[in-house]
């Protein structure tokens, strides 16, 4: 087992807490990384392997993600031993026992993550009255229904377009993944006059250089069908979306879809990352050298975490939408201005801004030297 003092630094972690309740089959770790800006928010992940080091690394990523989003929250994360595909009946005693175990850890606000959902958050709320990502019946804001992340992508497009001399009206947009993130991004960009020339899902792709009808695509998805069943669609791997010429390319499906091996196929000017880590580091570097602007995931797709912070404050859906739009607009502007002046890729500029925010907040704490 690795030694926590090997990875601890002046920013954190503040606490690593093991939680164990044999009767409920609970085994987990909570990492609270840094709370200088406010109580930590981060997901509860259920996974077959659990380690303090992984919990810490995920918590550190949340410290920077929350700081980059401009939230008054630090970063935390919990990892519970279990199979993410277990039934609700199997998960409920574990999640309720977990809630009791963190009752006094007030500096950690749990949210949903891989293997947990809004129902799990409702159990935690029921036990200790502290969680986010709740069902609407008990005060949750339905972020996928209102399109929290798609709205952040559209706000990113408004700012980024100026940095690459692009008119959104008439711009050709290709979207990989037509789920909660992709479909709202399509709707909002089409509303700005962009042409959605290609979309894909796990069933295939629909490609039409003249532009696809977003309402026709939405009808297909509402009926549980694939976008590939659109009249302009093609059943298949959907991989050909990489070759579609566009001005804006949006990954909104899975991690690591663009790598050093296939990045040469992308022909676009602006990438807005909806999915988490959709491109490898090398692929982003190659695009930077080619002059393609890439707005990184944790800046462009922060709509969900901003929505969670508004929910925690008891805010309304309308307040969540307004906060997402204004924060993401400001953050993308700050990141792209720094990237432009420093000549560095936007991801590096974003990380440096986030780290500065955390260091400034940490410097205000007692005992800080
Ligand atoms: P979702 O399950 O609603 O949609 C995912 C879509 O991707 C589906 O249409 C699916 O068919 C498609 N897909 C799967 N494999 C594909 C492939 N190989 N090629 C093309 N399409 C494929 O998920 P979502 O909520 O829209 O999230 C999409 C991504 O964005 C995920 O990586 C998620 O972690 C990330 N993300 C989501 C949010 C959010 O608010 N929902 C926030 C931040 C990041």
Based on the residue annotation, tell me whether 91 is a catalytic residue of this protein: no
For residue 368, the model assigns a pLDDT of 64
Q: Are 241 and 258 in contact (CB under 8 A)?
A: no
**What is the token pair recorded at 151?**
């709205």
- Ligand 1, CB cutoff 6 Å, lining residues: 143-144, 148-149, 176-182, 200-202, 238, 252-254, 274-276, 301, 304
pLDDT, one tens digit per residue, over 267-280 is 999 999 999 999 99
- Architecture of 148-302+332-353 per CATH? 3-Layer(aba) Sandwich (3.40)
| CB count in 10 Å sphere of residue 57 | 16
For residue 2, the model assigns a pLDDT of 76
pLDDT mean over 114-129: 97
The two domains 4-61+74-145 and 148-302+332-353 share their CATH topology (first three levels equal): yes
For residue 1, the model assigns a pLDDT of 59
pLDDT, one tens digit per residue, over 230-252 is 998 888 888 999 999 999 999 99
Mean pLDDT score of the chain: 96
pLDDT mean over 45-64: 94
pLDDT mean over 170-197: 97
For residue 369, the model assigns a pLDDT of 58
pLDDT mean over 55-60: 95
Dist CA 368 CA 255 (whole Å) = 38
For residue 3, the model assigns a pLDDT of 83
**CA of 205, closest atom in ligand 1:** 20
The CATH topology of domain 4-61+74-145 is Rossmann fold (3.40.50)
Domain assignments of the chain as residue spans, ordered by start? 4-61+74-145, 148-302+332-353
Q: Which residues of 11-38 are buried (b: 16+ CB within 10 A; e: fewer)?
A: bbbbbbbebebeebebbbbbbbbbbbbb
């Amino acid at each position: 087992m690795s030694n926590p003092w090997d990875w601890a630094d002046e920013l954190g972690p503040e606490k690593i807490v093991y939680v164990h309740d044999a009767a409920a089959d609970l085994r987990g770790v909570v990492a609270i990384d840094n709370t200088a800006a406010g109580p930590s928010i981060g997901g509860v992940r259920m996974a077959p392997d659990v380690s303090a080091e992984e919990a810490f690394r995920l918590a550190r990523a949340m410290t920077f993600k929350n700081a980059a989003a401009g939230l008054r929250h630090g970063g935390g994360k919990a990892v519970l031993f279990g199979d993410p595909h277990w039934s609700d009946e199997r998960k409920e005693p574990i999640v309720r026992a977990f809630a009791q175990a963190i009752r006094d850890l007030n500096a950690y606000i749990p949210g949903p993550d891989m293997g947990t959902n809004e129902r799990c958050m409702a159990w935690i709320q029921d036990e200790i009255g502290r969680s986010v990502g709740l069902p609407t019946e008990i005060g949750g804001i339905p972020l996928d229904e209102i399109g929290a992340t798609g709205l952040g992508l559209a706000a990113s497009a408004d700012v980024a377009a100026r940095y690459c001399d692009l008119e959104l009206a008439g711009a050709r947009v290709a979207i990989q993944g037509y789920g909660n993130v992709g479909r709202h991004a399509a709707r909002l960009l089409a509303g700005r006059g962009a042409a959605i020339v290609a979309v894909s899902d796990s069933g295939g792709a629909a490609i039409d250089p003249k532009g696809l009808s977003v309402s026709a695509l939405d009808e297909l998805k509402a009926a549980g069908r694939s976008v590939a069943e659109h009249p302009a669609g093609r059943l298949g791997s959907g991989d050909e979306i990489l070759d579609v010429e566009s001005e804006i390319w949006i990954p909104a499906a899975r991690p690591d879809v663009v790598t050093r091996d296939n990045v040469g196929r992308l022909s676009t000017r602006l990438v807005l990352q909806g999915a988490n880590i959709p491109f490898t580091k090398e692929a982003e570097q190659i695009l930077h050298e080619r002059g393609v602007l890439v707005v990184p995931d944790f800046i462009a797709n922060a709509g969900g975490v901003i929505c969670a912070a508004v929910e925690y404050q008891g805010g309304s859906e309308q307040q969540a939408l307004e906060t997402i739009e204004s924060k993401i607009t400001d953050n993308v502007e700050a990141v792209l201005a720094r990237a432009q002046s420093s000549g560095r890729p936007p991801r590096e500029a974003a990380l440096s801004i986030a780290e500065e925010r955390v260091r400034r907040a940490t410097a205000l704490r007692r005992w800080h030297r």
